[in-house]
Chains A and B, each alone.
Chain A
């Protein structure tokens, strides 16, 4: 008795992702993020202008811990330096240094989040107390979400590096680009929210 043989082959693999696809996709995400933060800052400036015009104080009576916010600024730009180091190491096939750079990037991102938590605790802004609370938490919370997304991105890039995909350094470049965007976004937030009184 003859039996027919069922094909057991796996389905065909997906087409290999085009070159720089991840980089371009990340760039577009950064553009969208820029519009998000830019739009939110524009609303912030508009509302602050209205408060100041009516003789009000903005940010009410809260004291901004400027040392912490300035350190956050230094941290986020330092983080970019390490993200770029990961790109450099990845391009050279240096897995140890690429992994180390990504680890430091993650540590600095966590430090940034920790510093933001300190700012929240130190300022003790009450969200329901006045006009400032909701605005403050909305803009800084959005930035926190962007930083946390960057941390996830770092973890994904690190998995790639640990898996030995160093030749595909595009993910490291795209990852670094994301952090540059995040640093620029925080710089704008730092100036508008923390520096300008």
Chain B
């Protein structure tokens, strides 16, 4: 029996064939080519594109909710819908933004970094995208119909749970494709020790998703069946928060930010024109951050430890605390320390080349670092930060930091993904606005947490009322006003970046070098943009940084 596989670029050839037809038909065929593509670069861009739009909407929602919190008299939205809006905000931050943009960048870039000609199971990855997108639409529809956690409409609550389940299935499917790619499609000679750092961070992140998200999915199955048939076990719609609330907060979400840390690990050696020193330890540092997936698998989103107590209680609290909060912090310190060491050694090679991707990813990692450190502080019971806005601040630092890092990655790999070099001068200001936005959005929430401002994921109108009542908090209005300004700046950053991307895509093609950024890894050896099958010939790898070897080692010799 003969079978014909139409190949990754079969859909793309449709668009080419229709080039002589009318513009409308061409547009239609082009859209269809994108809709059924099996080119991993396009699938990844679909994920990141929709994810960035969702992040923009979420940040705008953060502004609206910030106005409501900062001013008791504000009535921008109906009071009855605030519960659903707060939940849309949290769902948006995690399931509509941080996960898809990180996963999308991994889908787009990882096969290129591996020297592979395609992603493993690309059709499954595309199916995962549509499943995630459909689930997102269902979730938001349910929230709009008075569903969600503590929602008043029973059927809409069921729809919310179904939507969440559908999103998770899609994300698991796509994550499995990335992890399988790293494990099986590496170019000849690319051992696991030679895997680029971004691909490694994507592997850890996707493995973490494969461990954590099924646990949340299992809880959702119970919640759905129980809520639909009797509501005996889980406390009805308000009880949903108890069982899946951990999925929208630190430490569980830290594992989704790992691709952003991977982007920084790629761009820093490029900026300082030096190999990453002690790569093995860097691998270990990134993997230690991935331990936060355990927080989700155990459904223990807060690992409280009390300092002043008897030894048995201390140990029982300290062990999970050190696993869920201490190890990620240790991994981050290792990762940052090795980055500094690389930079310090790189300075011997002359003045570093500080490009926009490096600045974005550096700011992103620093924001994520604050979030991980805040997660550490959150677990210390004596500080009494549980249930306050401190948790929201930590979550915002992680999510917005990851967004900055991923934007840096999109700029860095733009030549390979779209065949365009994004000029630094166009995006440098965005990096500054972005880091200001992330800091202003998250830091006031941390401060307000110390001032006992209620926070977290609301499960009923009383929770919302508590979150809006900040009159008795010292300078509460100030901190919430600053935070909403931060959301606004973040929305501005994302909007500007999206518009810039759209503008550049409409500009005429310019010839681009294979390696305009001076990248070190194997993907910089193929043409820009990368062809549908990534490489014209099978590449063989003899080092973790083959392009660095060709550029610098050859010039030395």
A133 CB within 8 Å of chain B: yes
Within 8 A of B (CB), among A16-48: 17-21, 24-25, 28-29, 31-33, 35-40, 42-43, 47
Checking B38, B176, B184 against A32 with a beta-carbon cut-off of 8 angstroms, the contacting residue is B176
B557 CB within 8 Å of chain A: no
Known: A11-B9, A35-B211, A35-B215. A127 touches B230 (CB 8 A): yes
A12 CB within 8 Å of chain B: yes
Instruction: List chain B residues, Cβ under 8 A from A33.
Output: 214
With both chains docked as a complex, state the minimum distance between the C-beta of B341 and any C-beta of chain A, in angstroms.
Answer: 34
B19 CB within 8 Å of chain A: no
Within 8 A of A (CB), among B175-207: 176-177, 179-180, 183-185
Instruction: List chain A residues, Cβ under 8 A from B297.
Output: 35, 39
B10 CB within 8 Å of chain A: yes
Mask of B268-311 contacts with A, CB within 8 angstroms, 1/0: 00000000000000000000000000000101000000000000
Instruction: List chain A residues, Cβ under 8 A from B226.
Output: 134-135, 138
The A interface, classified by DSSP as helix, strand, loop or mixed, is: helix
Nearest B-chain residue to A136, judged by Cβ: B225
Asked if B229 contacts A15 (CB within 8 A), the reply is no
Instruction: List chain B residues, Cβ under 8 A from A40.
Output: 218-219, 221-222
CB contacts between A and B, total, < 8 Å = 127
Interface residues on chain B, number (Cβ under 8 Å): 46
B4 CB within 8 Å of chain A: yes
B8 CB within 8 Å of chain A: yes
Checking B5, B120, B229 against A134 with a beta-carbon cut-off of 8 angstroms, the contacting residue is B229
- Identify which of B118, B212, B230, B297 gathers the most chain A CB atoms within 10 Å of its CB: B230
Asked if B120 contacts A21 (CB within 8 A), the reply is yes
The B interface, classified by DSSP as helix, strand, loop or mixed, is: helix
Asked if B7 contacts A39 (CB within 8 A), the reply is no
Known: A12-B533, A14-B118. A24 touches B5 (CB 8 A): no
Asked if B184 contacts A164 (CB within 8 A), the reply is no
Asked if B214 contacts A35 (CB within 8 A), the reply is yes
Asked if B9 contacts A20 (CB within 8 A), the reply is no
Instruction: List chain B residues, Cβ under 8 A from A134.
Output: 222, 225-226, 229-230, 232-233
Nearest B-chain residue to A137, judged by Cβ: B225
Known: A25-B120, A134-B225. A10 touches B215 (CB 8 A): no
With both chains docked as a complex, state the minimum distance between the C-beta of B539 and any C-beta of chain A, in angstroms.
Answer: 12
Instruction: List chain A residues, Cβ under 8 A from B349.
Output: none
Asked if B211 contacts A28 (CB within 8 A), the reply is no
Kindly state the separation between the CA atoms of A141 and B228 in the bound complex, as whole angstroms. Answer: 15
- 17 interchain pairs (CB within 8 A)? A11-B7, A12-B9, A13-B4, A17-B120, A24-B183, A25-B176, A28-B176, A31-B211, A32-B213, A37-B218, A38-B215, A128-B229, A128-B230, A130-B232, A131-B232, A134-B229, A135-B226
Question: Which residues of A come within 8 Å of B, CB atoms?
Answer: 10-15, 17-21, 24-25, 28-29, 31-33, 35-40, 42-43, 47, 127-131, 133-135, 137-138, 141-142, 163-164
Known: A15-B117, A32-B176, A142-B221. 18 other contacts (CB 8 A): A12-B7, A14-B8, A18-B185, A25-B177, A25-B180, A31-B210, A31-B211, A35-B215, A36-B218, A39-B215, A43-B219, A127-B230, A130-B230, A130-B232, A134-B222, A134-B230, A134-B233, A137-B225
